[in-house]
Amino acid sequence: MKLYDLVNSGNCHKVRLLLAFLKLPYEKIPVDTAKGEQRTPEFLAINPMGHVPVLEVDGKHLWESMPIMVYIARTYGGDYWLPLETGPLTEIMKWMAVSLCEVRTGLAKTRSITQGRRQGNRDETRELGAVALRTLESRLKNNDWLAMDHPTIADLACYPHVALAPEGGIRLDGHPGVVRWIERIQKLPGYVGMPGLPYRPAHAHAK
């Protein structure tokens, strides 16, 4: 497997985490978005959307973090990370939707605006981020994980953008359940970090 990757991308980190937790070897292909490498004809040929992550498997290219995680989880993780039973699957998809909406358009976009990587109304994105944190806290104040009694791809889908929220000026200390959940993920065997998030000694699965 090859992962077309950007080191400071929360969406890429979701995929890196799942690969690490499953101890799957892969080749990391850095994409320099600052130089516009995601807009070259060569890259657009594998992802016409023009962004990372992209996972290459047996000559086929999967793009968007959510379907990539679904593929990895179902192909290599059995029912643990993504069960197909209706009840658990529905719960996981609910939190995946939150990760794509309020978490991404609120917390992640606020971070991007703050860091000068994109333009937008920071007040509006912060409001969406507040909705995301309030929603997550409503679940995590009394539960260890979002969808089930163990981590699933729902947790990984939300984690990077939530944990990086302080880089956008959004404090997490008013959400103790969320903070405990972040710490819980970072203590999972095989956890890998990224810029802005802690690195811990772990097996190197990427080469």
- Domain layout of the chain by residue ranges: 2-76, 86-186
pLDDT on residue 118: 74
Percent of the chain, pLDDT > 90? Answer: 87
Segment 187-199 shows an average pLDDT of 90
Strands in the chain per DSSP E: 2-5, 27-30, 54-57, 60-63
On the question of pLDDT at 55 being above 80, the answer is yes
Nearest of 52, 96, 107, 51 to residue 73 by alpha carbon: 96
Distance (Å, whole) CA 41 – CA 48: 9
On the question of pLDDT at 133 being above 50, the answer is yes
Tokens encoding 92: 């996981």
Candidate CATH numbers 3.40.30.10, 3.30.465.10, 3.90.920.10, 3.40.50.300; the one for domain 2-76: 3.40.30.10
Crossing angle of the two packed helices 65-76 and 153-163, in degrees rounded to 10: 140
Tokens encoding 49: 């959307």
Tokens encoding 152: 């699933």
In the chain, helix, strand, coil percent, each to 5? 50, 10, 40
Distance (Å, whole) CA 24 – CA 77: 10
CATH fold of the domain at 86-186:
Glutathione S-transferase Yfyf (Class Pi); Chain A, domain 2 (1.20.1050)
On the question of pLDDT at 203 being above 50, the answer is no
C-alpha 55, offset from chain centre? 14
Segment 132-156 shows an average pLDDT of 98
11 burial type by CB count under 10 A (0-12 exposed, 13-18 middle, 19+ buried): buried
Mean pLDDT of the chain: 93
pLDDT on residue 115: 84
2-76 and 86-186 have identical folds: no
Residues 6+ apart with CB under 8 A from 161: 10, 99, 103, 104, 107, 108, 111
| pTM above threshold 0.85 | yes
Segment 7-23 shows an average pLDDT of 96
pLDDT on residue 8: 92
Segment 98-106 shows an average pLDDT of 94
Distance (Å, whole) CA 19 – CA 17: 5
pLDDT on residue 199: 65
On the question of pLDDT at 200 being above 60, the answer is no
Instruction: State the DSSP code for 28.
Output: E
